[in-house]
Structure 1
């Protein structure tokens, strides 16, 4: 019992109060994240669209997200993290309801585009706020805890959505919108603005040169590109996987139960992952994650029953668990303090490009080259990404060390002005 208490204290203790409000908002929001999980099934079975049309709609969600993350990153740095988060969540709730009421293909496509724009605009502001309030030494466990909340909510949502979809698909959209509004209320009432403007900003790159700074940061852009390739593989689980399972005669509820294994495994295991990877080479961890994810999705070519699909989900989930905390800490260390929102936006942009491309590419490959080719291609891309992580890792670590030293040199000048987060 004492060992468990010590472990719990080491895992959750000492984090800022603001972090826990953000964590709570994440959990509530993800508990209602029904729609994206079941959008492919909704579009093909409820609305009667083809796999290519469904891929196009999901892709437009990603296109909207690309605009949203770009704008959200800029607004987070210029306007502030808090107003950006509030606007994004309220706007996304309104668009969620509009998408649920849309019927024609053009209306569904427009709704998905606008929903993606608002929903994903919150990502850079949220990430920047997490970095603002959590000290560097605690970020690995803080991001792991937040990822744990995401997947706890996702696991519950996947199962509940499978049941709700059998009763009324509109209910999925209503509940998702409601959780977005509750998250906005938590931010409005409990989360202060965390963006700081002080001497450090004036002595570093000017905001007007932000785009040039990012576009010339080859180390960071290389890291973003590798995340794009990984995301192209990973996002097949919400685009082509439900369609493949449907072709095997499996119901939406079965898909919900199978995909819920992803969240359940992360809920059980993610609290222990930071200890397992602490002190290890992040490049090696990211490479291993890419291999495991590639193998997991590759094995989907052989699946045809719920238990085999579940096994593939469990395998690629292990890769996801290794990937997420290492990615999050690297983003924090590779982002200059005054450009955190924009750097978060560029990284999120890789997810949105993948979100737009993965369903379209997956649908085209599946229709013209076959289901097996799609999953073999995922395996090959995972292996290539792993090799690239091993090659590019040393340059990333050198850049992170240089930025950390630069920040330590500026710290004495701002220590008396920077507000300290309250302890939980």
Structure 2
């Protein structure tokens, strides 16, 4: 049994190029560091600055507005100049930002740092997604993206569990560990990876190919990004507001809220590849519809939560949706993109994530402050159901077009 396990692991290792595994190793290091900070950032800002939740979520919105701007820049630069150095700049900037956050003491300072973080994050994501599309054939990408998510979530599983204990003692130490891990990953990308952009793609991008106008004329792709944005809005409520919601309303300490994030990440580590092997054999939009419904059920369960086990079960149900949606949506986005425009298509796709994680928490904060804390989760259910409906409409539209294009029997 052990020999069979190692044979399978060796076969998987030989199946993908070495650069893919370097990307995986760097992702693990950086995600451990980032996972120690992000789940507790709202608590840190509330404690250090004494701000209302609406103001705190406005900082998250500022982060996302800057992400939107950076997404457009990253797509063009990634298509014209390559993937590698876009990733290096992004990771280095994120490391510096986290180091400076440990010393910031005012709302203005945090606003500047959140804006810089917003600029940095999408540049890395666009570059990494495009690099994987360059390295891995289309029929293998869903599983490749799922492996990357598995390693990413291994780091996120470890990060919050450690970060909850460190943050309870010193947020400054947690910030510095995150900074060092990101700078180490930046060095790995800079010195250990090669550029992957196809030569013909770079030449086409530099000579002009319609720019973003081509992307924004692709109505099917834009509706797909819109549905994905709604799913992201539902997800953002959980990851941005659940730690503060459970602490303020049910007195759950950071150690337990960190473990809630670990439930999510552990499930991704254990089941992502298995789920993706099942979903990649089926129609992507049908799978996305099912995944969004799992989001709705899981987030709806938060309304009945009052103790750690309740929230852990709801998180587990929502994570099933994430296991389906995350790699399926990324693989579908990359398959819809022409080779010379992968960076721009992936940047618009990541734009949906940026919009959702900016708009979602601030609306959740308004629901909390002006209606009731529990209204956060009713808003999440509504967004998840809307996204499921839109995925289903796109599924039916595409299936109808495929049937009409097929030869008719005579």
Matches within 5 A, 1:204-215: 207-215=208-216
Matches within 5 A, 1:273-292: 273-292=275-294
State the distance in 2 between where 1:398 and 1:70 align.
Answer: 33
State the distance in 2 between where 1:199 and 1:37 align.
Answer: 38
Aligned pair partner of 2:384 in 382, 386, 406: 382
How many Å apart are 1:205 and its aligned residue?
11
Matches within 5 A, 1:82-101: 82-101=84-103
131-140 or 356-365, larger mean C-alpha shift: 131-140
Corresponding residue of 1:239: 240
Matches within 5 A, 1:216-231: 216-231=217-232
State the distance in 2 between where 1:6 and 1:396 align.
Answer: 40
State the distance in 2 between where 1:94 and 1:283 align.
Answer: 39
Corresponding residue of 1:411: none
State the distance in 1 between where 2:358 and 2:50 align.
Answer: 21
The question of whether the paired residues in 2 share the 8 Å contact of 1:297 and 1:312 is answered with yes
Aligned pair partner of 1:197 in 190, 195, 199: 199
The yes-or-no answer on 1:183 pairing with 2:185 is: yes
CA 1:199–1:47 in 2, change beyond 3 Å: closer, same or farther?
A: closer
State the distance in 1 between where 2:173 and 2:71 align.
Answer: 27
Q: Secondary structure at the match of 2:374?
A: helix
State the distance in 2 between where 1:320 and 1:226 align.
Answer: 14
The question of whether the paired residues in 2 share the 8 Å contact of 1:298 and 1:377 is answered with no
Aligned pair partner of 2:271 in 248, 261, 269: 269
Q: Secondary structure at the match of 2:357?
A: helix
How many Å apart are 1:206 and its aligned residue?
5.7
How many Å apart are 1:216 and its aligned residue?
0.5
The question of whether the paired residues in 2 share the 8 Å contact of 1:294 and 1:316 is answered with yes
Corresponding residue of 1:58: 60
Matches within 5 A, 1:17-416: 17-33=18-34, 34-198=36-200, 202=204, 207-247=208-248, 248-393=250-395
State the distance in 2 between where 1:12 and 1:274 align.
Answer: 18
Q: Secondary structure at the match of 1:371?
A: coil
Please, what is the CA RMSD of the aligned residues? 2.1
Task: Could you list the structure 1 runs, at least 4 aligned residues long, displaced by more than 4 angstroms after superposition.
Answer: 9-12, 199-202, 394-400
| Matched residue count | 399
State the distance in 2 between where 1:368 and 1:187 align.
Answer: 46
Q: Secondary structure at the match of 1:393?
A: helix
State the distance in 2 between where 1:282 and 1:72 align.
Answer: 26
- Given the two structures, how large is their TM-score scaled by the length of structure 2? 0.92
The question of whether the paired residues in 1 share the 8 Å contact of 2:201 and 2:339 is answered with no
CA 1:399–1:187 in 2, change beyond 3 Å: closer, same or farther?
A: farther
State the distance in 1 between where 2:224 and 2:218 align.
Answer: 10
How many Å apart are 1:153 and its aligned residue?
0.3
5+ long unaligned stretches in structure 1? 401-424
The yes-or-no answer on 1:14 pairing with 2:15 is: yes
